[in-house]
Amino acid sequence: GAGVSQTPSNKVTEKGKYVELRCDPISGHTALYWYRQSLGQGPEFLIYFQGTGAADDSGLPNDRFFAVRPEGSVSTLKIQRTERGDSAMYLCASSLMDGREQYFGPGTRLTVT
């Protein structure tokens, strides 16, 4: 079946602009996760949803970052007033339920100039 998909695959934006990154999980997966990966590092947790609600948002670095999952399927990660330090690969994953193995999408490469 179809895996996790993320759009766009690449996003270049100017410092100070607003961006939205989209994630489509595997059909039927109730849990959805966002991670951020910088070069030479492992993915770092940002937030995860069980259904429509954020079960753990403790990884969001500051209040410029926000994520939603209004219908319990697609999720959008929103970054306001982007900074050059936000440049990274943003990964989305989903799982059948939380506590189970997570399946990752291809990521969105965000570059802030």
Q: Which residues bind other proteins (CB under 8 A)?
A: 31, 33, 35, 40-45, 48, 50, 55-56, 58-59, 91, 93, 95, 98-99, 101-107
To other proteins, the closest distance from the beta carbon of 14 in angstroms equals 27
Closer of 41 and 113 to other proteins (Cβ): 41
To other proteins, the closest distance from the beta carbon of 18 in angstroms equals 26
* DSSP state, residue 26: P
To other proteins, the closest distance from the beta carbon of 38 in angstroms equals 10
Q: Where are the beta strands (DSSP E) in the chain?
A: 5-7, 10-13, 19-24, 31-37, 44-50, 53-56, 65-68, 75-79, 88-95, 103-104, 108-112
Three-state secondary structure call for residue 84: helix
